[in-house]
Amino acid sequence: MPERLSALDASFLYLEERSVVMHIGSVMVLERPPDDVDAGDLARLIGARVAYIPRYRQRVRTVPGHLGNPVWVDDERFDLDLHVRRTALPRPGTRDQLTELVARVQPRRLDRSRPLWEVYLVEGLEDGGLAIITKTHQAMVDGRSAVDLGQVLWDDAPGSAATPAPTFRPAPEPTLVELVTGAVVDAVRRPPQVLETLRTGLGDARAGLRRAAGAASGLARAASTAPAGSGGPLEVEVGEQRRYAVVDTALEDYRRVRRAVREGAVPGAELHDVVLAVLAGALRSWMLSRGLPLGPASAVRALVPLSVAAEGEDDAPRPAGAVPPQVEGHLVDLPVGEPDPVVRLQQVVFSARRGEQRRRVGARELAGIAGFAPPTLHSLGVRVAGQVAHRLFTLVVTDVPGPQHPLYVGPVRMTGSYPVIPLLAGHALAVGVNSYDGAVTFGLNADRDALPDLAVLAECVPEALAALLDAADGRR
């Protein structure tokens, strides 16, 4: 029998609304290809590598009467051209034109009658480079049975654009009788799941997720009191249109801040804390530019999914094929009311540590997990956010450490990678952060009407980093 979606994966399908989509995205910027490689070669390479992930040739099929969760079935009509698409920017092909394309492409819902993913190969960048935009539904990516498409596109060294021979052969789809029989058999084997399946089928997925929130990392206890001045312009009714902006900063600047504050002001600070403090400073400057009143206790409550390890586990690197680390959510109050950058960092560290139940996995360990790439970690982070009642926080921030060496798609080097985190209901902004090859990059996804000044927020990020760096050096 085909594999059945878990209750959580099915919930991601049922939770999608007209203005809320539940797919994770990424934008990969590539340098100019060699003269003997064109965009068509890369498009064929992308299509051929899909064969390495059987889930990407499968579609969702519902069970009659919602007697069980939907199942994954091989798509006998799989058409690669509907999933790998080529497009081009008009001249001059600027970064702003690319982000505008991302803002138009990402909000479109994926076709439920086909495999739930898309890739856009974008030509016409002003330096002769290319970009790859990916969209992968949350129901597909759990880090175990399926991974984000970006993982099979990347190589650690430049390779050939030659495409391997296709190996996928679709299995026949189950009949209606087989679907019903399989659901009944599963219900007998796992009776507690029957009621949850019926609730999901009746559209009560939200209630199930809210109940799950009470048991998720103590978040309900942590959210018993909301920070003063939280939310504001970030808590709105989300529309269908988006704005998207990217920010490039240097990893060494964050390391310099950490070294400076560890010697005195904030001895326990980690790189992740510095990133959150920079984001808090950027949000503060952006809010002040809008003339919003900020008091000393003003804060924006963020859900920050972090990878954790069970107590007692050692710090040894995980072997190839090991189970990925668990990802749990922690609520962190970003102190937008605090004018001193170093004090903001102190408050971020205190807020982050206050709610932790288990120790975090370090960047080196995460980046060293074989076959476990940043896009999948971002996806797992969004899965955590999807299980928590959205009223408990205002902003989702995923911060994922990546490899500090160049990656390649065939023979073409990737020069930048930016996540696209979906907006949850009532949230005007979502922030994804990557570290890659000496850079820390931000992907800011926002509601188009609520944040017409998203570019201002993007400009505030490097300014906040510079201010924190100057203040940290002054405290040494």
**Per-residue pLDDT tens over the stretch 276-296:** 999 999 999 999 999 999 999
**10: confidence class by pLDDT, cuts 50, 70, 90:** confident
Q: Is residue 283 part of a domain?
A: yes
* Per-residue pLDDT at 377: 55
Asked if residue 314 has pLDDT above 50, the reply is: no
Q: How far is CA 207 from CA 6, 11, 226, 381, 425, in A?
A: 16, 10, 22, 20, 14
Stretch 248-275: mean pLDDT, rounded? 91
pLDDT of residue 185: 65
Tokens matching residue 293:
């009143």
Half-sphere exposure (Cβ direction) of 185: Cα atoms closer than 13 Å: 9
CA distances from 403 to 64, 108, 230, 305, 340 (A): 45, 30, 34, 19, 32
pLDDT attached to residue 20: 79
pLDDT greater at residue 81 or residue 364 = 81
* Distance set, CA 26 to CA 205, 300, 379, 386, 447 (Å): 27, 25, 10, 18, 17
Distance CA 396, CA 386 (A): 10
Confidence of residue 191 (pLDDT cuts 50, 70, 90): low
pLDDT at 474: 80
Write out the residue range of the structural domain in which residue 415 sits.
225-404+411-474
103 located within any domain: no
CATH assignment of the domain containing 461: 3.30.559.30
Q: Does 111 reside within a domain? A: no
Is the CB of residue 153 less than 8 Å from the CB of residue 46? Answer: yes
pLDDT digits (tens, 9 = 90+) for 317-339: 333 333 344 556 678 999 999 99
Q: What is the pLDDT of residue 190?
A: 59
Tell how strand 412-420 and strand 429-436 pair up.
unpaired
Task: Work out the pLDDT band at 88, boundaries 50, 70, 90.
Answer: very high
How large is the average pLDDT for residues 233-253? Answer: 94
Mean predicted confidence (pLDDT) in 453-466: 98
Q: Is 458 part of a structural domain of the chain?
A: yes
| Residue 2 belongs to some domain of the structure | no
Q: Is the pLDDT of residue 228 over 60?
A: no
What is the C-alpha separation between 154 and 456, in angstroms, rounded?
Answer: 32
* Residue-level pLDDT at 99: 98
pLDDT at 8: 72
Q: Give the span between the Cα atoms of 286 and 308, in whole angstroms.
A: 32
Give pLDDT, residue 289.
Answer: 96
Q: Give the confidence band of 184 by pLDDT, cuts at 50, 70, 90.
A: low
DSSP code of residue 280? H
User: In the chain, what is the straight-line distance between the N-terminal and C-terminal CA atoms, in Å?
Assistant: 63
Q: How many residues does the chain have?
A: 476
362: which DSSP letter?
P
Helix (H, G, I), strand (E, B) or coil at 302: strand
**Count of CB atoms situated within 10 Å of the CB of 370:** 10
Question: What average pLDDT does the structure give for the chain?
Answer: 78
* Average confidence (pLDDT) over 433-453: 95
229 φ/ψ sector (left φ>0, alpha ψ -120 to 50, else beta): left
Mean pLDDT of 93-121: 95
Query: Of 67-81, 282-296, 314-328, 438-452, where does mean pLDDT reach its minimum?
Result: 314-328
Residue 399 within a domain: yes
- The sign of the dihedral angle between the CA atoms of 100, 106, 109, 110 is positive
Tens of pLDDT, residue by residue over 149-170, are: 777 788 888 987 666 666 677 7
In a domain, 166, yes or no: no
Residue 353's pLDDT is what?
A: 75
Tell me how far CA of residue 237 lies from CA of 162, 207, 384, 424, in angstroms. 47, 20, 21, 10
Q: Which residues pair with 444 in a beta bridge?
A: 245, 431
Which is it for strands 242-250 and 58-61: parallel, antiparallel or unpaired? unpaired
pLDDT of residue 223 exceeding 50: no
Alpha helices in 23-81 (DSSP H): 39-49
What pLDDT is recorded for position 5?
Answer: 83
**Residues 400, 361 contacting (CB under 8 angstroms):** no
- pLDDT(3) > 90: no
More confidently predicted of 401 and 29: 29
- Domain total of the chain: 1
Q: Which residues of 92-130 are buried (b: 16+ CB within 10 A; e: fewer)?
A: ebebebbbbbbbebbbebbeeebbbbbbbbbbbbeeebb
Q: Is residue 325 part of a domain?
A: yes
Residue 476 pLDDT: 64
Nearest CA among 374, 372, 305, 375 for reference residue 134: 375
User: Are β-strands 71-74 and 84-88 bridged in parallel, bridged antiparallel, or unpaired?
Assistant: unpaired
The pLDDT of residue 189? 63
Whether 376 has a pLDDT exceeding 60, the answer reads no
